[in-house]
């Protein structure tokens, strides 16, 4: 299906072409990593029916945008792939198309730094630009496979998955919790991988979940546990959490 956006044809990729799109995105690695992982994750979970998978051209894809088909009760996320800054104007038009359908604000992830800068430079000033940088203090942690070493669970702690019984304490203690946090957390807990380390009486010590956008997870570690044995200063708990998530 094609939609005309400011004289530019935007195609919605339908399920019959998903295998071809998967192959195209794989050829564009590593730039396409976020879009590819998100696409595969949502496809495996049968959640792509709730999404629009948009591309600028077919079968050669320079820009990919995966967005909600309709406004949901959780904060909308757009996952994208853009082949380079020379295609930033195309990505800009596709994002505006998604904004028109879903309304802003919308959190967009997946584009490289040079593409992000090109998007900002499309506008004369930061005040006229619809784009704002977010999460300046965020870091990406990649654990090399050769560094994954199974660690024993310390006495008095156990590994579980996040569940509905954790929601209340998660909403109260997570520093980024907002009015829709419970719906957002519940959606991810029910659909994607999670890991929780908790005390024997069920109190969470650390937890991690896989976000919908695929290549990014959230790790929250309770600071009050740092100085309690058996967690030494080198943050054994965090190392263990990544280890368990990898397995």
Answer yes or no: pTM beyond 0.85. no
Q: Which residue has 């929250």 as its token pair?
A: 220
132 and 102 Cβ atoms separated by less than 8 Å: no
> 56-78 burial by CB neighbour count: b if 16+ within 10 A, else e?
beeeebbbbbbbbeeeeebebbb
88-102 and 113-121 helices, crossing angle to 10° = 80
Q: Mean pLDDT, the chain, as a whole number?
A: 77
Q: Tell me: the pLDDT tens digits for 114-148?
A: 898 898 888 877 777 777 766 554 545 555 666 66
Does an H or E element contain 183, and which? helix 181-191
Burial class (CB in 10 A: 0-12, 13-18, 19+), 15: exposed
**What DSSP designation does 87 have?**
G
pLDDT higher than threshold 80 for residue 87: yes
pLDDT tens-digit profile of 198-247? 888 888 888 888 777 754 556 666 655 444 444 443 444 444 444 444 44
Residue 80 corresponds to which tokens in the numbers above?
Answer: 């994208």
pLDDT tens string 56-75: 999 999 999 998 887 766 66
In terms of Cβ atoms closer than 10 Å to its own Cβ (0-12, 13-18, 19+), residue 195 is buried
**Hey, what domains does the chain have and what are their CATH numbers?**
2-121 (3.40.630), 145-246 (3.40.630.30)
Length of the chain, please? 247
């Amino acid at each position: 299906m094609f939609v005309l956006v400011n004289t530019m044809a935007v195609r919605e990729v339908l399920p019959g072409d998903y295998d071809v799109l998967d192959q195209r995105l794989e050829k564009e690695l590593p730039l396409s990593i976020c879009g590819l992982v998100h696409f595969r994750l949502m496809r495996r979970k049968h959640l792509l029916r709730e999404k629009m998978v948009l591309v600028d051209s077919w079968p050669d894809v320079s820009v990919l945008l995966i967005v909600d088909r309709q406004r949901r009760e959780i904060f909308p996320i757009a996952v994208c792939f853009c082949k380079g800054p020379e295609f930033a104007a195309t990505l800009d038009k596709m994002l505006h198309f998604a904004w028109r359908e879903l309304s802003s604000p919308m959190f967009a992830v997946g584009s490289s730094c040079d593409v992000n800068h090109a998007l900002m430079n499309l506008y004369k000033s930061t005040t006229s630009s619809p784009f704002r940088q977010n999460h300046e203090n965020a870091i990406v942690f990649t654990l090399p496979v050769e560094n994954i070493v199974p660690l024993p669970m310390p006495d008095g702690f156990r590994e579980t998955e996040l569940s509905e019984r954790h929601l209340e304490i998660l909403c109260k203690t997570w520093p980024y919790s907002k009015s829709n946090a419970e719906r957002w957390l519940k959606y991810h807990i029910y659909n994607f991988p999670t890991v929780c380390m908790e005390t024997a009486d069920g109190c969470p010590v650390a937890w991690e979940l896989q976000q919908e956008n695929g290549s990014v997870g959230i790790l929250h570690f309770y600071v009050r546990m740092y100085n309690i044995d058996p967690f030494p200063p080198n943050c054994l708990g965090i190392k263990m959490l990544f280890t368990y998530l990898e397995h």
